């Protein structure tokens, strides 16, 4: 059975340049609970959109995206450029994403440690409706090969994962349930990215 995306997908674009390698753009995606699109249209600015948190609170999509990216930045070297975020809508039961909005980020990572080529960080979660979810980051400043339970010894991972499951978070799993629990933090190698970095 296909694992369809949620109704609204937030895409964050960032570029990494590990030492000795060329720049490479990555796309980080999460599903978010955007309010119904009554009164907004494709092409409207991020300021026209709002997200609903599990707590019932409502936040501007742009403000919440800024807060989320703040949680991403400690994973990445200062050379890593977060260029933009995009909002896409995906009708239930399909993969037919349509573009709705874009948002300029123009910010950089904050870690003094260089980007690790072909590295992947994966944080796993449980949703309120029993589904699983992942936050995946490519070519972070973390290196090695490990898998640990939360809370971990890594401060940025603890901070971001706590932010994701907070009652004021609008992040959802693909089963459309809000994230409520943390499972594991895994650090390793992304094979597809390794082939792109070392064999292309």
Residue 1 lies in a domain: no
Is the pLDDT assigned to residue 102 strictly greater than 60?
A: yes
Residue 53 lies in a domain: yes
Residue 187 lies in a domain: yes
What DSSP state is assigned to residue 98? E
Residue 78 lies in a domain: yes
Instruction: Enumerate long-range contacts of 33-41, CB under 8 Å, 24 or more apart.
Output: 33/8, 33/170, 33/171, 33/172, 33/178, 34/7, 34/8, 34/61, 34/87, 34/170, 37/89, 37/100, 40/100
pLDDT digits (tens, 9 = 90+) for 42-93: 999 999 999 999 999 999 999 999 999 999 999 999 999 999 999 999 877 6
Residues 185 and 121: beta-carbon distance below 8 Å? yes
Residue 74 lies in a domain: yes
C-alpha closest to that of 164 among 141, 188, 120, 133 = 133
pTM: 0.92
If one counts the domains in the chain, the total is: 1
Length of the chain: 200
Domain residues for the domain of 110 are 8-198
Residue 3 lies in a domain: no
Residue 191 lies in a domain: yes
């Amino acid at each position: 059975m296909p694992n369809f995306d949620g109704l609204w997908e937030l895409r964050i674009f960032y570029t990494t340049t590990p030492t000795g390698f060329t720049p490479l753009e990555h796309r980080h995606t999460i599903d978010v609970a955007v309010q119904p699109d009554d009164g907004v249209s494709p092409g409207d600015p991020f300021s026209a959109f709002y997200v609903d948190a599990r707590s019932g609170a409502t936040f501007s999509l742009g403000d919440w995206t800024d807060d989320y990216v703040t949680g991403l930045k400690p994973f990445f070297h200062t050379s890593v450029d977060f260029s933009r975020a995009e909002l896409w809508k995906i009708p239930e039961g399909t993969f037919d994403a349509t573009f709705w909005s874009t948002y300029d980020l123009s910010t950089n990572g904050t870690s003094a440690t260089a980007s690790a080529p072909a590295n992947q960080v994966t944080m796993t979660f449980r949703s309120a409706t029993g589904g699983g979810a992942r936050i995946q980051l490519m070519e972070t400043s973390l290196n090695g090969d490990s898998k640990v339970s939360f809370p971990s010894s890594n401060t940025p991972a603890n901070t971001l994962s706590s932010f994701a499951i907070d009652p004021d978070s609008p992040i959802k799993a693909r089963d459309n349930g809000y994230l409520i629990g943390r499972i594991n933090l895994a650090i390793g190698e992304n094979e597809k990215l390794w082939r792109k970095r070392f064999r292309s």
